[in-house]
Amino acid sequence: MINIALFGSGRIGRIHASNINAHPLCRLVHVVDPHKPSAQELADSFDASVVETEYALKSEEIDAVFICSPTDTHATLIELAARHQKAIFCEKPIDLSSQKVRECLAVVKQENALFMIGFNRRFDPNFAKLKQAVSENKIGNPESLVIISRDPQAPPSEYIRASGGMFKDMTIHDFDMARFLFDQDVLAVSASGRCLVDKRIEQEGDIDTAMVTLEFACGGLATIINSRRSGYGYDQRIEFHGSKGLIKAENVKSSLLQVWSAEGCMAEKPLDFFLERYKEAYQMELQYFVDVFNGGVPNTCDGDAGLKAMLLAEASLLSFKTGQRIELSKS
């Protein structure tokens, strides 16, 4: 049994709490959140108790921490947890500064802590199966990857303000997915972006529409197409082309119904909300954490994955601002 302290009782914290509770090998023991009513409510739902950070970290009962608090607390909590010999799961990103990420991961390494970053999409059954097929040589030598990733609608200004910007907040998932699927490092990145969806986003100094091209060490190329608003639900598609053909994952829908009428043949639009779309992914992500914790599988969704994705976000931002293709330095 893995005894877990959860930091953060917001939306994503609640997802993990629920999955931890349902998992036969996990137990939610403590909830930590400065907003006590929220922490208490969550703790009550799952027979856990609300404690302070220090208490949770010092408790010998606790095996692992799940960090779902605001981004600017991640690095500090990771370092603390590592120093207390806890296994760590942290929502992405580790930090909005790659420098700070490096420092944080140095502590993790020094303490030899188990650290897993929450790139949930890797664990989506469709994408995981696609990755598996690529590994089994179903498309031959990988050549070009297209990731289309559009949110259903733009978030509020406050969210944008704290997000770190589109590349670090949204595209970061796609950077990781591209690296995950190619199983390669990126040599160079070229990014274009605009604010087309919502003027308030521009006022926050951010963009809402982006296209990024990645060049991989193996020679393969990837394009990421992002928008903060699709108009038709949560658009999450991948197609990967190789020397033998193509594999693609289509959008997940709430049903397979079709209505044929004088207007045409109507199918359902994609699922609208990430919690619904990636419900199974969050469950599989927890399972992976458990498997890594129990020593069954090597951890590939680690701090390095978090750092590399953040470096790609920074390089994309620089490319977008300078109009230049940015080469990634060897790490």
Query: Which residues, 6 or more positions from 68, have their beta carbon under 8 angstroms from its beta carbon?
Result: 6, 7, 8, 9, 10, 12, 13, 16, 91
Given the complex with its own copies, which of 163 and 251 has the nearer CB atom? Answer: 251
Shortest spacing between CB 166 and its own copies, in angstroms: 13
Given the complex with its own copies, which of 21 and 73 has the nearer CB atom? Answer: 21
Given the complex with its own copies, which of 84 and 229 has the nearer CB atom? Answer: 229
Shortest spacing between CB 138 and its own copies, in angstroms: 6
CA distance 42 to 306: 28
Given the complex with its own copies, which of 34 and 125 has the nearer CB atom? Answer: 125
Query: Which residues, 6 or more positions from 124, have their beta carbon under 8 angstroms from its beta carbon?
Result: 278, 280, 281, 284
Neighbouring-strand partners of residue 115: 88
The values of phi and psi at residue 118, to 5°, are -85, 60
Given the complex with its own copies, which of 196 and 299 has the nearer CB atom? Answer: 196
Among 181, 240, 235, which residue's Cα sits nearest to residue 209?
Answer: 235
Shortest spacing between CB 279 and its own copies, in angstroms: 12
Given the complex with its own copies, which of 112 and 260 has the nearer CB atom? Answer: 260
Report the Cα 36 to chain-centroid distance in Å.
Answer: 27
Shortest spacing between CB 34 and its own copies, in angstroms: 30
Q: Tokens at residue 143, please?
A: 């050549």
Given the complex with its own copies, which of 70 and 140 has the nearer CB atom? Answer: 140
Shortest spacing between CB 250 and its own copies, in angstroms: 4
Shortest spacing between CB 208 and its own copies, in angstroms: 9
What is the bridge-based pairing of β-strands 26-32 and 87-91? unpaired
Shortest spacing between CB 273 and its own copies, in angstroms: 14
Question: By CB neighbour count within 10 A (0-12 exposed, 13-18 middle, 19+ buried), where does 99 fall?
Answer: exposed
Q: Which residues of 23-62 are buried (b: 16+ CB within 10 A; e: fewer)?
A: beebbbbbbbbeeeebbbebbeebebebbebeebbebeeb
